[in-house]
Amino acid sequence: MPSRQPLGRQYSIHPTKSRPTYRHARQAWSTAGIGTDSARRRAARPKDLSSRDAASTITDAGLLQLDDPDLPDGWQMFPDMTVPEYRRYAALRVEALNHALRGIPPERVRLHVCWGSGHGPHRDDIPLRDIVDLVLAVPAGCYSIEAANPRHEHEWTLWQDVRLPEGASLMPGVVGHATDVIEHPELVAQRLLRFAKLVGAENLIAGTDCGLGNRVGHPEIVWAKLEDLSEGARIASRALSRHSR
């Protein structure tokens, strides 16, 4: 079987920023001994409970957001892995994460996953369908998942047959970091309404695909995206309240 050759590994879109390419990242992992199964198992095992204590301190004060772009994006590091092999690799990490989360109320935890925020082709991103059960196996009250860019927007249909854990919310990205084009509030509302039909409006929060920051070029663009996200949520909320009357 030919190995996958992700386009993203072949070049860096921003070579002048000395951003590591996937190839370099993989070499770094290999150097760190994460390339073998036993080393991966050692690396994934929580070394002590200090991080869990820190997490408890945070959740006592509010909400703990776990950013785990590597859950989908680790796929790029191992182009020779099959989907079942990658699922075993990812499941071990979910197991370690869940170990660290023991005793922390899920409603105080939000899990963010995306396919990496780097601008690139993303043609070889692993489909959400192949890992969604692993994502939802993390005991979180809210799942923030990239859903607004052209490579992943179609995956909203997945929620026709995937159920959120009891009491959990979905926070799909409805504006994104992949482009500086500012999403129209009507588009934001349309995206939210189709999710609302599938997971229930009471379980839905409008989110961003990932951190926006300087990925969209200028702080004013970030604020404009967030303004239109808010306006789109208001439009969707009005439409939903009209329907419920």
The binding site for Zn ion (CB under 5 A) comprises 69, 114, 210
Nearer of residues 112 and 193 to Zn ion, judged by Cβ: 112
Least separation in angstroms between residue 213's CB and Zn ion is 11
Least separation in angstroms between residue 27's CB and Zn ion is 23
Nearer of residues 116 and 193 to Zn ion, judged by Cβ: 116
Nearer of residues 193 and 222 to Zn ion, judged by Cβ: 222
CB 226 within 8 A of CB 175: yes
Q: How far apart are CA 139 and CA 141, in angstroms?
A: 7
Backbone angles phi, psi at 67, to 5 degrees: -95, 115
Least separation in angstroms between residue 225's CB and Zn ion is 15
Backbone angles phi, psi at 49, to 5 degrees: -95, 10
Least separation in angstroms between residue 69's CB and Zn ion is 5
- Strands 142-145 and 109-113, sheet pairing: parallel
Q: Is 116 left (phi over 0), alpha (psi -120 to 50) or beta?
A: left
Dihedral in degrees, nearest 10, Cα atoms 113, 62, 202, 211: -30
CB 123 within 8 A of CB 6: yes
Q: How far apart are CA 105 and CA 144, in angstroms?
A: 17
Q: Which residue has the tokens 């004060």?
A: 61
Least separation in angstroms between residue 70's CB and Zn ion is 10
Nearer of residues 69 and 79 to Zn ion, judged by Cβ: 69
Least separation in angstroms between residue 209's CB and Zn ion is 7
